[in-house]
Amino acid sequence: MAQFTWGAAAVADRLELGCRGAHSGDVTEYPLVAAAALAGVSDPRVLDAVASVPRADFVPPELAAEAERDRPIPIPHGQVTTQPSLVATMVEALELTGPERVLEIGTGYGWQSALLARLAVEVWSIERWDDLAARARMQLARLGVTNVEVVVGDGSEGVAEHAPYDAILVSAAFPRVPAPLIEQLAENGRLVQPIGRGGDEDVVLFRKRDGALERVRTVAEARFVPLVGRQGFAA
Ligand SMILES: C[S@@+](CC[C@H](N)C(=O)[O-])C[C@H]1O[C@@H](n2cnc3c(N)ncnc32)[C@H](O)[C@@H]1O
C-alpha cells in the first residue's frame, strides 16, 4: 500500500496488516459496498450487510472520518480492523444463508461480528484483549445486535462449550488450522483462515468432510496479524 493518511511510520507498518496483498485498483474514493463489489463480492446479502452496518461505530472515534475508506484502521494493542472489502470477501466465502451458528476468532472492534450477525442466526466471537471485547460488545449493543456473544479468551482453542459451528472465521494468521477448530466445526461446515506466519498470507476456505478438513480454495492474498495463543504463536 502506497499512502497512509495517518503519517507515522509505526502506524503505516500496522496498516500493512489486515489488508489485501495485491490491490486491483484504488477504491478509496468509492463507498465500502463498491469496494467490496470491486473485490469480487457478489452475494447481495453480504453487500447489504456491508451497506447496513456503519463502520464508523466500530473504529476508534478519532478515526471515524476514515471509516468509509477501504483501508484497515489501527485499534489498540498493535491490532487493526481488517480492510472492509477483505472482510466482505472472507464472510462471503462462508456462504451463510441465515440459519447458521458461527464462531469468529478475533473480534477486534466488532464490525465483522456485526456483519455476521446479519447473515447468521447466532454468532460467538472470541477476542484475547478484554478492552477490545468490551468495546465491541458495547457498540453491538448500541446498534441493537442481540445475536452475537463476545467472549474473552484464547480463540486458538475455539469455544468448545457451544460447538459445533456451521462456520468458523479466523481473523488472525497461523500456518495451519488449530486442531480444536477442526473438531468444533460441524460436518460440511466451512472455515476461513489466513494461512501463514502473519504479514503475508493466503486466506483459505476449508470444508469439513468425513471429519477431516479439505482445502477448497484461496479466497484472497492478504497480510494479517498473527494468531496468538496455546494453539497459535507464543505471546
Ligand atoms: C486483524 S484483527 C481483526 C479484527 C476484526 N475481526 C475485524 O475484522 O476488524 C485480529 C484480532 O484477532 C485477535 N486475536 C489474535 N489472536 C487471538 C486469539 N488467540 N484469540 C482471540 N483473538 C485473537 C487480535 O487481538 C485482533 O483483535
Per residue in 123-181, pLDDT (tens digit) is 999 999 999 999 999 999 999 999 999 999 999 999 999 999 999 999 999 999 999 99
Is 228 contained in some domain? no
Is 63 contained in some domain? yes
Distances (CA, A) of 34 to 44, 47, 216: 12, 9, 26
Q: Is the CB of 166 under 6 A from ligand 1?
A: no
Q: Which three cell numbers stand for residue 128?
A: 484475547
Is 64 contained in some domain? yes
Q: Which amino acid is at 163?
A: A
Q: Is the CB of 196 under 6 A from ligand 1?
A: no
Q: Tell me the CA–centroid distance for residue 215 and ligand 1, in Å.
A: 22
Is 66 contained in some domain? yes
Look at the chain and report how many structural domains it folds into: 1
Is 182 contained in some domain? yes
Is 1 contained in some domain? no
Q: What pLDDT does residue 145 have?
A: 98
Here the CATH number for the domain that contains residue 93 is 3.40.50.150
Q: Tell me the CA–centroid distance for residue 171 and ligand 1, in Å.
A: 6
Is 231 contained in some domain? no
In angstroms, how far is CA 108 from the centroid of its own chain?
8
pLDDT digits (tens, 9 = 90+) for 64-93: 999 999 999 999 999 999 999 999 999 999
Distances (CA, A) of 143 to 92, 173, 179, 221: 22, 29, 34, 31
Angle at alpha carbon of residue 198, lines to 196 and 201, rounded to 5°: 45
| Structural domain containing residue 185 | 9-223
Q: Tell me the CA–centroid distance for residue 172 and ligand 1, in Å.
A: 6
